[in-house]
Amino acid sequence: MPNALVTGTSSGIGEACVARLAERGWTVYAGVRRADDGDRVKAQYQGDVRPVILDVTKSDDIARVVAEIAREAGDRGLQGLVNNAGVGVGGPVEYVTEADWRWVFDVNLFAVVELTRAAIPMLRTGHGRIVHIGSVGGRLASPGLAPYSASKHAIEALAEAQRHEFARSGTPIRVALIEPGEVKTAIWDKADTTADEIERSLDDVGRKRYQWLLDESRGFIDEGRAKGVPPATVADAVEHALTAVRPKARYLVGPDAKLAGHVLTRLPDRLRDALVRMGSMRWEKRGRNLSRPHP
């Protein structure tokens, strides 16, 4: 029976991955930050689901979980590591604080690097695979999402470099990058609060200068909630990356991701910029048609 460690499994994509892999007969170590989330996930899905308390920003948690899995897996090693845990930070670049920049990189990049490095010995033993959950935002940065997109650009570089390093060194670990677009998860409900917090963080000049961006953010959130693909669609790609004889290096998930990844990113910069502005204005119009809360 293969086994996998999946991070960020209390909701959304991570929870969908637990459900899919457990159904397929995997032993799934489901990383959660709270015990009650682990109990709920274990009770909700059939199969061998083993919750582990894992805050990916805490080195002690990483060391403890990796040691625990190593003891249980023994000579089998680890067949899958799904780096899903992540956070989103947005706002105008000139107003996003240094603390917020560091926080998004701590979670979305540095924690991924630390956990992956710690798990490599088990993955090497188990001829395992690493699946990084990136974003189409790692290929195409929209206004207001610079910190998040920058962290996902970094994950693109990490996945590509690892792929070459393992192949050239004869290490039997494969690496895949999942790049979803809009996905129907609880992140959109959290994003409503984030948009309000961004507006409250701006001074009067900032609100006047960036009102279009606030409207755009709310329009983007509203569209994502309505049109995003189900998390199970992302789990499909994760399962393929973990089990296929010839897994892809990259998986674009969702119609918006495929449009951006296959078309927009291949265009000349001027045309690409024009189309990004058109999309931004479309979200702005959608956002203006929503009732806008006051800070």
Residue 131 and residue 240 in contact, taking contact as beta carbons nearer than 8 Å: no
Output DSSP code: residue 173: -
Catalytic position from the list 29, 45, 148, 210: 148
148 catalytically annotated: yes
Question: How is the beta sheet containing 3-6 ordered, strand by strand?
Answer: 48-53, 27-32, 3-6, 80-83, 129-133, 174-180, 250-253
Between helices 211-227 and 187-201, what is the axis angle to 10°? 170
Residue 233 one-letter amino acid: T
Which DSSP string corresponds to 70-122? Answer: HHHHGGG--SEEEE-------S-TTTS-HHHHHHHHIIIIIHHHHHHHHHHHH
Q: Considering only CA atoms, which of 81, 178, 89, 176 is closest in space to residue 135?
A: 178
Distances in Å between the Cα of 282 and the Cα atoms of 92, 207, 271, 279, 285 are: 18, 20, 17, 5, 5
Neighbours of 265 (CB within 10 A): 12
Please give the structure tokens belonging to residue 77: 């090693």
91, 196, 215, 263 from 211: Cα distances, Å: 11, 12, 6, 29
Catalytic residues: 148
